[in-house]
A and B are shown apart, each in its own frame.
Chain A
Amino acid sequence: MEPKHRHSPSAEAIAEEEQASGAGPIARLLGRMFRPLHRLKRLPFWAYLVVLGPGVVSAAAGNDAGGIATYAQSGATYGYGLLWAMVVVTICLVLVQEMCARMGAVTGKGLSDLIREQFGASWAMLAVLVLLIANAGVTISEFVGIAAAADLFGIPGWLAVPPIALVVWWLVTSGSYRTVEKVFMLMSLVFFTYIIAAFLAKPDWGQVGTAIVQPKIDLAPVALQALVALIGTTITPYMQLFVQSTVVEKGVTLSDYKYTRFDTVFGVIIANIVSAFIIIATAATLFVHGSTNVNSAADAAKALEPVAGQGATILFGLGLFGASMLAAGVLPLATAFSVTEALGFEKGVNLSFREAPVFMGLFTVLLVLGALVAMIPGLPLFAVLIGVQILNGALLPILLIFIVRLASNRDIMGQYAIGPVYRVLAWGAVVLITIAVLLMFGTSLFH
């Protein structure tokens, strides 16, 4: 018989110790969200391709409420007219995301962290302000998306949003968001059906092809707003934050960066192919039949009718709800994380409400703000969704300038700083986006 020990840890004792020594709920959640993949790193490249699926899945799920609204509106109003812009924007996004992922791998630091250390307190505060405004906007748009989805099922937004906001807050702070997240992700996969819808709608593929390769620039203020919204929703500022901190938290370093680069680039391309098909589907169903304005989720759902018929509304509603819920939790969290990082308060480790008032306060305020705005009665939901994307697009150049300057700085990046050709391309992207934004402001002022 083995000697029995009085102090053998009982189950309760173990649980208690875990509670005492473990990190706070937020830290645990973030830890779980950015789980590293050391095992994957050691696999051969082909094995990586096989398991890539989820990376692509989550990329496609990144098409949130604002994205769907913007692409659907663009397809309905301009037909295939903005498809060429999708190509240019995709190239820009690949460059931007690659730079951020690379910075994360080389420095092991987040974006706002680097901005603070390299450009000092004042510039860092500008970046923080930009991020706060842009991300508060997107958070609002996620709750607007939730309200719009509820609307489709006949539930008024003001009734649906408050309990859902509470649930999201609780899911995130209790650390159980990760578990339900997969359900939302599955729901948002509905938007893949736009690809089928596009084919079933039998668009004129010749026209589609021409539209892709032939830039058509419309200088009307409304058209430029649509363009900036398209840019803003595709290259959302929070994506840059997110890709960089994910790389950092996953513990990706230079030795395994090639896989991350592949995943990043591939994810961007897949996500934008889905986006392009949303434009094609809405163009082929709504635009060609003369309904050129998407004012509500019900309008946008019509583009799915070739696939789902009567069920289009339900299908679209599920997708919209899933996509909105997916971002509604992560976005305020990532924003609070990034802002706290720039300010220098504790982040990531050992956080509870009392220990990290700034972090938790920001997270809560963003969530409440998003919910409150979405509850305003009679709010033109789709107009708000697209307005937020225009704001995102307008703020984007500020952040991009920081990113390109950091990525080409040899003090930070050493030999991994972006080379001269890359630099020209990256600055080219910044200039193009800035011109689009300035043109929009310019023409809007003169009309």
Chain B
Amino acid sequence: MLNSAKFDLEPFERREGEMVVTKDLWDRQIIDVRQRRVLRVNDVLIEQTPGNKTREWRIAGVDVSLAGLARRLKLGKLAGMIRPGASQPPVVNWRDLDIFGTSMAGGVGLKHDKLARMHPVEIARITDAVSYHQGAEIISALDDTLAADTLEEIDADRQIDIVMQMPDERAADIIEEMAPDEATDLMSELSDEKAGALLEEMDDEEAEDVRQLLRYPEHTAGRAMTTDFVSVRPSMTVAEVIDQNKQHFLTADLIYYMYVTDSEESNQLLGVITVRDLLLNERDVKVADFMVTEFLSVRPGEHEREVARKMAEYNLLALPVVTRNNEMLGVITVDDALDSLLPEGWKKRIPRIFS
């Protein structure tokens, strides 16, 4: 611009997709997707594009070290004295960092492809370390499935804060992708209006699952169970079980146990088979020939703790939940039952401001 004869004297205005280093990068938080952590930008590294005649400059990365901070404070000498810590590389490469868009006018913001390099648990941990606005921004930047997996890993209070920040339509899309029991837990913590609005937005099938589970009181097997399980008929062969459930095996929470019911309508639980049975039996053997018919089950009204105790005692991964008439309702898995065993004293919920 400087080699043109005319100067552009219009005051600078940030256009969409642009950002101002001193405003949008300095002192802001970034996500280091390689080290899976949230850091603050102390300084910005700018370098000349190597081997380029147009003399372009580009941002190579950001400095997150104490030395970088000392430089910003014009304490250059001090900066030289601070040796980079062994545990913390001082510079985050531009390729490995993601920036929040909350403070920016334009379309710059978190990018899904960068965030998706992390595991849902790690993303969840990061949403925990930033403000709830930023947490919502992170979740919004993910695709529905990853967003759902991540949301499942976030604790209930944070989930609510984040869901409340999102438009209902988007929140509903994500909740649809969550396991029904997780989605129900989340819904039960929301206000009735908000939960109603979200159920309205959700696909009928998923919304129905959640409504079903919401009928059971908190801390019961009925509330904690998932309705997403593999069910088979006794007349099916091993080959049929495998072929007809391929798609379901991909998404169901738990596929180790498959539940044998008489028909879709009456849904009477007859027996249980396992993945091991499928692997060990010939392809033409019928389910009825190897299914186990003596099994433990629980009622939907049973307390979670009781369920967890049974699982621990018998070393089980899951238990079927059935009605008094032996109708199959759902499955409670060990991870859900485990939650109830973790101590949660009522005292934790008491407000503390000045302690």
A residues whose Cβ falls under 8 Å from a Cβ of B: 1-5, 8-9, 11, 14, 21, 32-40, 42, 51-52, 54-55, 58-59, 61-62, 101, 107-109, 116-117, 120-122, 124-125, 181-182, 185, 239, 242-243, 246, 248, 250-251, 253, 255, 259-260, 263-264, 267, 271, 326, 330, 343-350, 354-355, 357
Contact = CB atoms under 8 A, between A and B. Distances in A.
A116 B348 contact: no
B40 A116 contact: yes
Interface string B43-66: 000000000000000000000101
Given A344-B41, A346-B38, A117 B27 contact: yes
Q: In the complex, which of the residues B42, B128, B349 has the most CB atoms of chain A within 10 Å of its own CB atom?
A: B349
Contacts of B160: 38, 251
B64 to A, nearest CB: 6
Contact of B125 (A108, A109, A349): A349
Contacts of A242: 353-354
A159 B254 CA distance: 59
Contacts of B73: 121-122, 125
Interface residues of B, number: 65
B39 A346 contact: yes
Nearest 3 Cβ contacts at the A-B interface: A344-B40, A108-B131, A35-B348
Contacts of B126: 349
Contacts of B27: 116-117, 120-121, 124
B315 A5 contact: yes
A323 B156 CA distance: 33
Contact of A2 (B66, B158, B161, B272): B272
Nearest to B191: A42
Contacts of A14: 338
A35 B338 contact: no
Nearest to B71: A121
Interface in B145-195: 155-158, 160-161, 164, 189, 191
Contact of B355 (A9, A58, A253, A263): A58
B132 A251 contact: yes
B355 A185 contact: yes
B37 A1 contact: no
Interface stretch (B220-228, B233-241, B290-298): B290-298
Contacts of B132: 108, 251, 253
Nearest to B131: A108
A343 B354 contact: no
B350 interface: yes
Nearest to B276: A3
B354 A271 contact: yes
Contacts of A5: 256, 274, 315-317
B39 A345 contact: yes
Contacts of B28: 117
A239 B292 CA distance: 62
B274 A3 contact: yes
A264 B352 CA distance: 9
B227 to A, nearest CB: 21
A243 B354 contact: yes
Nearest to A34: B352
B353 A267 contact: yes
Q: Which of A2, A35, A59 has the most CB of B within 10 A?
A: A2
A263 B128 contact: no
Nearest to A117: B27
Most chain A beta-carbon neighbours within 10 Å: one of B72, B129, B347, B352: B352
A39 B349 contact: yes
A21 B164 CA distance: 28
Interface string B319-355: 0000000000000001000100000000111111111
Contacts of A2: 272, 292, 294-296, 314, 316
B272 A54 contact: no
B198 to A, nearest CB: 15
16 contacts: A3-B257, A14-B338, A36-B349, A37-B349, A38-B160, A52-B351, A59-B353, A61-B354, A62-B355, A124-B27, A125-B73, A251-B132, A251-B157, A253-B161, A343-B69, A349-B128
Contacts of A37: 349-351
B221 to A, nearest CB: 16
Given A121-B42, A343-B69, A349-B125, A8 B316 contact: yes
A344 B29 contact: yes
Given A2-B292, A125-B73, A349-B125, A243 B353 contact: yes
